[in-house]
Amino acid sequence: SQELEQSPQSLIVQEGKNLTINCTSSKTLYGLYWYKQKYGEGLIFLMMLQKGGEEKSHEKITAKLDEKKQQSSLHITASQPSHAGIYLCGADPLIISSGSARQLTFGSGTQLTVLP
């Protein structure tokens, strides 16, 4: 089955600092998705990476997928309190098993706190 390790589990940073969250898959992926969740709310889609070596940015958040398509990182530059929340990575498997519905496997999440 797909294993997805996410680190760190929690992160506390001072406003203005940079930070990185990592996500590692045990298998090659078709796609890697990053979501953000604020307490008590649903998951908001941030970015999707599909190509080896791909990098995408949105405002101050940059996500990268390695060439082997097994590792991804999410980097936040000059963090702000609005960046606080839980970040989850989701893996879309390369090989779809018979009968599956292409469900994503998720990492355990990274709780980010940004101190003003």
**Residues paired with residue 57 on neighbouring β-strands, in sequence order:** 62
- Interface of this chain with another protein, residues 48 to 87, rule: CB under 8 A: 48, 50
Question: Any contact of residue 94 with another protein (CB under 8 A)?
Answer: no
Cα 106 from Cα 114, distance rounded (Å): 23
> Kindly report the CA angle at 87 between 34 and 77, in degrees rounded to 5?
85
CB of 68 to another protein, least distance (A): 18
Question: Any contact of residue 109 with another protein (CB under 8 A)?
Answer: yes
Q: Which stretch binds another protein (CB under 8 A): 21-29, 63-71, 72-80, 96-104?
A: 96-104
Cα 93 from Cα 61, distance rounded (Å): 24
Q: 76 or 88: whose CB is closer to another protein?
A: 88
